[in-house]
Structure 1
Amino acid sequence: MSCIVNINRFIIPNDIISTITNIYKYIGKNDIYEQTVGNDINRIIEQTVGKDCYYIARILSLDISDNRMRLIVTKNSSPRTKDETTLYRIKEVLTMIQMKHQDLTTQSNDLINIANYINPNQNIKYAYQEENKKVILKSQSMRSKRLLLDEINDISNNILAKQSFEQIILNLHFFIDFYNLKPFSEENETTAFLLLYLLLLKAEVYCFKYVSFFETLYNSYDRFEVELKNASFNWNEGFAQTLGFVRFFTKLIFDAYLNTEDLIKAYEFDQNINKSDNIENTIYKLPNIFTKEEIRAIHPLVSESTINRTLSKLRDENLIKPLGKGRSAKWIKIN
């Protein structure tokens, strides 16, 4: 049991070494990205967290309408249902991770506190694992999964302190261990996703400050599920086959950095011209019927207020008019 305990068995093949090397070339530009966006970094992270909330809600199949989701994520509307409370608190946790990830730890107490915070109506506790040993009473063979999680965490921290294994790949194996261990009585899946988010940022994979991690994951979720299932096979026996998962995930990170490069270039371009004029020009090139989402896809780092201001200006000039309301509302050009 545990990938981390057996991490020295994992041989990194040449193609993954190549991908990791390219990722580190972009990680070396993290400071340049932040210097480029300057004081807009907090606004950009807020937008990224908003997208993260929308897509993790889809991944977790939370029963929340798009309109309520928008109000909770962008307006801090008070939650009305259990699923809305979960999303509201996930947003707070994601924001905390973005802002304070280097100070946060993956200790067992911290992770169960996250689980209990997400679901305040449940007294989430550690589950137990039955060990293979001969005892008189069954209860004597039960071991708290907290102890197993602490062991995995201690080994991981020791490896990082010695710098004896590459951190991104190590952290991916930590996630696989947590996912399969299922250490809590409730909220294991949600906590696992938030742990993965934290582990990536702690490895300075800062493309996910600019590009939504959960949107990126959602777009490849079928493949993610397949690779995670394959990586979990024989996990209990200590022979998990994690190569496919690592190959998939390092490629996902590399592609996210390519998207970040494009976003930063677009941001630099927008800084050199009037942002509203640039959005107007984009609208003219869109189909006769379009949505704000299409504009955001082209200008993801432009603020919501700038997009709304441009739409209102064109509406007042009788160049466009809205079709419906809410997040999925469409606009039509007036010829």
Structure 2
Amino acid sequence: MYCLERIKVNLVTHDVFSKTTTLYFEMGKNHLYEEIFSRNIEYLRKEVASQNAEFFFKIFFANDFPLKENRYRTLLLDSSVANNKAELLYKNLYSIFSMIHVEQTDPFQLHLGEINDLTGLLFNGVLSKEKLRYRKYGKKKGMFNQESFSMREELERYLNDFNHIAKEKKVEPIFLYVNFLIDFSSMQVFDMQYNEVLGNLIFYILMLENHFKAANYLSFYQKLYLYKTDYQDIFNQIDIQSKQGLADVMPLMSFFINIFNSIYVDLQETSRDYQYDQDIPINKTDYIENTIYKLGDVFSKEDIREKHPSVSNSTINRTLKRLSDENVIRAAGVGRKAKWVKLQKNNTKHKFDGQIKMDLGEK
């Protein structure tokens, strides 16, 4: 039995309902964030696409397709060439997230054609055609007779039911999408081991279509990566229950709502820093220096980048070099994983302490 068959009788728990209400309140501010980030939206979308590709790969593929850390950035270049299946899979993944976030594509439609196209794009050159075929299963018609069926027909029936429920608008959309993710994984639609991975990607696209616009500015999969063990534990437990026809979807629903709300909290802080960057007429290196003072005693360029997504790498590098020359900080390591260590204790008196106040609709 699929979760979708019982979706109208499953009651959303009070705590999940409360968290969902908070999420929709935050989603109601989407138009404000669109105005704030409008000047750098293309850059931000490209950054999100690359971050999603990297952390999606690390969550779902890194064990089966090992990839060197330095290749995550190199393979984003148009001139780069994949040397093995792991690198090809990563480039395929980046192309998909670029289509989702950067390119002006038509809205995603949940039907067989879209799922087939997405599967083909993701695993092109990585998995054999046999692995990408719909799984066949048999049903007994007698003691010695068994008829063979394809999951293609089963999935088509399921999608018809799903889209019918979606059009009725009587079920909360996120709850509907979580049920889809669980069902799609348990169906094992294709003859491959990555049905859950594909289902998760579809779930993410559906959330974007349902106005989860924070994911255009901050990486959803970078946040999920921080809690990947929790996610996998919850999902594995539900998958076992699903095979027994007793799946409780609420733990996964609650988990995702927490992730979404956390991203919106991060977005509030990022938007304040971003507008401060854009509107305050001060030297950018001084503002970067002020942020460094507020970071821990050991930090990375990525820590600065998260606070100032619109500031160029050259500005950050120039600030780090100046502070290094002044013996305020020193480098520990080289490359993307390099850390910086403060040689002086944090000073509570910063050059430009404080941030402008923004009206994001809070009361």
Q: Is the TM-score greater than 0.5?
A: yes
Over the matched positions of the two proteins, sequence identity in percent amounts to 29
- Residues 173-252 of structure 1: pairs in structure 2 closer than 5 A: 173-186=179-192, 187-252=194-259
Distance in 2 separating the partners of 1:288 and 1:248: 32
Identify the range of structure 1 (103-112 vs 68-77) with the bigger mean alpha-carbon deviation: 68-77
Q: Secondary structure at the match of 2:203?
A: helix
Please tell me whether residue 64 in structure 1 is matched to residue 45 in structure 2: no
The C-alpha deviation readout for 1:156-214, integer Å capped at 9, x for no partner, is 21122121111111011111111111211234243223212212112211121222111
State the alpha-carbon separation in 2 of the partners of residues 283 and 184 from structure 1: 49
Distance 1:127 1:309, change over 3 A: farther
Check whether the contact 2:324–2:330 (CA below 8 A) recurs between aligned residues. Answer: yes
Kindly provide the amino acid, as one letter, of the partner of residue 143 in structure 1.
F
Aligned length: 333
Instruction: Choose the corresponding residue for 1:109, options 109, 113, 117.
Output: 113
SS in 2 for 1:211: coil
Give the aligned residue type for 1:128. K
State whether residues 36 and 268 of structure 1, in contact with CA within 8 Å, keep that contact through their aligned partners in structure 2: yes
- Render the CA deviation track for 1:32-65: whole Å, top value 9, x for unaligned: 1111111211211211222212212211213111
Instruction: Find the counterpart in structure 2 of residue 160 from structure 1.
Output: 166
Match of 2:267 in 1: 260
- Pairwise CA distance, 1:97: 1.9
Work out the CA distance in 1 between the residues paired with 2:238 and 2:310.
35
Instruction: State how far apart, in whole Å, the 1-side matches of 2:222 and 2:326 are.
Output: 35
**1:130 is paired with a residue of what secondary structure?**
strand
Query: Is 1:44–1:209's contact at 8 Å kept on the other side of the alignment?
Result: yes
**2 CA distance for matches of 1:131 and 1:290?**
59
| Contact 2:92 2:124 (8 Å CA) reproduced | no
Tell me if structure 2 keeps the 8 A contact 1:126–1:146: yes
Secondary structure, counterpart of 1:48 in structure 2: helix
Higher alpha-carbon deviation: 13-22 or 228-237: 228-237
Shift in alpha-carbon separation, 1:134–1:30, aligned structure 2, 3 A: farther
Residues 111, 319 of structure 1: alpha-carbon distance in 2 compared, 3 angstrom cutoff: same
Residue 128 of structure 1: aligned partner:
136
* Counterpart residue number, 2:23: 23
Aligned to 1:52: 52
2:304 is matched with which residue?
Answer: 295
C-alpha contact (below 8 Å) 1:159/1:165 kept by paired residues: yes
Structure 1 residue 326: deviation in Å? 2.0
1:241-265 deviations in Å (ceiling 9; x for gaps): 2121112211221122111112112
Task: Say which is worse superposed, 266-275 or 243-252, in terms of deviation.
Answer: 266-275
| CA–CA distance in structure 2, aligned partners of residues 101 and 223 of structure 1 | 33
Secondary structure of 2:38's aligned partner: helix
Judging changes above 3 Å, is the alpha-carbon distance between structure 1 residues 5 and 288 closer, same or farther for their aligned structure 2 residues? Answer: closer
What RMSD over aligned residues (CA atoms) do the two structures have, in Å?
2.6
Which residue identity does 1:179 align to in structure 2?
S
Equivalent-residue separation in structure 2 for 1:263 and 1:92 (angstroms): 26
Q: Give the equivalent residue in structure 2 for 1:276.
A: 285
Q: Which has the higher helix share?
A: 1
CA contact (8 A) 2:178 2:253 kept: yes
Please give the per-residue CA displacement for 1:78-105, whole angstroms capped at 9, x wherever unaligned: 2211101101110111121224576122
Displacement after TM superposition at 1:6 (Å): 2.3
* Structure 2: gaps of 5 or more residues: 345-363
- The alpha carbon displacement at 1:281 in A equals 2.2
The one-letter amino acid paired with 2:75 is I
SS of 1:66's equivalent? coil
Partner of 2:354: none
Residue 335 (structure 2) pairs with residue 326 (structure 1): yes
- 8 Å contact from structure 1 (residues 319, 333) kept in 2: yes
Change (3 A) 1:90 1:305: farther
* Letter of the structure 1 residue corresponding to residue 135 of structure 2: A
